[in-house]
């Protein structure tokens, strides 16, 4: 896999406003927010797409999902709720080949999203 912007953020070569971090994930504020609070959560172990989860350790995937909830709580979204979005592949508008969750909140969100 080629190096992405997220790889550079993890290596601290590109600055990011960190919202939450633990041993396995990094969560940071999106530079083009689509809601008052828009956080990206990336695993420190790189997976490009959901298909990569087939060969991944289920415990690592579980930790990643739990960390998404922890990041949302850390930025104060637990009480009012939030949306978690994954874009998987070109047709879904995934622009960085590195699996990442978008946490959106801080206002009422509409449905359908797109």
Q: Give the separation between CA 26 and CA 84, rounded to whole angstroms.
A: 15
Catalytic residue among 63, 74, 100, 102: 100
What is the token pair recorded at 14?
């590109």
Residues 6+ apart with CB under 8 A from 109: 35, 83
At 25 the three-state DSSP class reads strand
* 100 is annotated as an active-site residue: yes
CB 56 within 8 Å of CB 99: no
Catalytic residue numbers read: 100
């Amino acid at each position: 896999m080629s190096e992405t912007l997220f790889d550079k953020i993890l290596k601290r070569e590109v600055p990011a406003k960190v919202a939450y971090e633990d041993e396995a994930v990094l969560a940071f504020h999106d530079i083009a927010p689509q809601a008052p609070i828009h956080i990206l959560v990336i695993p420190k172990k790189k997976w490009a797409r959901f298909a990569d989860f087939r060969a991944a350790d289920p415990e690592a995937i579980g930790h990643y999902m739990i960390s998404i909830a922890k990041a949302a709580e850390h930025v104060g979204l637990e009480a009012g709720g939030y949306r978690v979005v994954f874009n998987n592949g070109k047709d879904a508008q995934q622009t960085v080949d590195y699996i990442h969750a978008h946490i959106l909140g801080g206002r009422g969100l509409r449905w359908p999203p797109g």
